[in-house]
């Protein structure tokens, strides 16, 4: 990443909870509340948005770690907003503080790690069996 990313760089992502985002859609015996994997996906998207403006050429960031607490339930129709802010970095690895909230309260928080990769080199590596 040629451009320096300032600590505190921010990104966000929003979605409205649909049936497909609920536990019920994966397991009919579970309640129709926003699933943890969907909340994490939205947090990862916010983290991607925080770092992408600093990428150059065919660079993107990909997820490398997740440390998340899902603290409250949200139902179908709730508007969820995830926010990410860069907390630290070490070479090409970045740690972002993330939160997710519905219209009433914070529903999740934690950190996600991301690394910078070149899409071309990354796809080439996968094609070669990861070597």
Of 36, 45, 64, 111, which residue is the catalytic one? 36
Q: How many CB atoms lie within 10 A of CB 47?
A: 31
- Count CB-CB contacts under 10 A for residue 121: 11
Q: What is the helix (H) or strand (E) element at residue 60, kind and residue range? A: strand 59-70
The DSSP symbol for 71 reads -
Indicate if 61 belongs to the active site: no
21 is catalytic: no
Which of 21, 22, 44, 99 is catalytic? The answer is 44
Cα 22 to its chain centre, rounded Å, is 18
As a whole number of angstroms, the distance between CA 56 and CA 2 comes to 7
- Which of 59, 70, 83, 99 is catalytic? The answer is 70
| 49: annotated active-site residue | no
Active site residues: 36, 44, 70
């Amino acid at each position: 990443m040629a451009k320096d990313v300032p600590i505190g760089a921010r990104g966000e992502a929003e979605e409205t909870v649909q049936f497909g985002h609920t536990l019920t859609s994966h397991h009919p015996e579970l309640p129709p509340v926003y699933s943890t994997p969907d909340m994490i996906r939205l947090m990862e998207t916010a983290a991607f948005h925080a770092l992408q403006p600093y990428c150059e050429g065919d660079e993107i960031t990909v997820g490398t770690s997740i440390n998340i607490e899902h603290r409250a339930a949200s139902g179908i129709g709730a508007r969820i907003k995830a926010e990410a802010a860069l907390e630290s970095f070490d070479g090409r690895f970045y740690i972002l503080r993330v939160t997710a909230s519905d219209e009433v309260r914070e529903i999740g928080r934690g950190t996600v790690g991301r690394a910078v990769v070149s899409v071309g080199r990354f796809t080439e590596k996968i094609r070669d069996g990861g070597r």
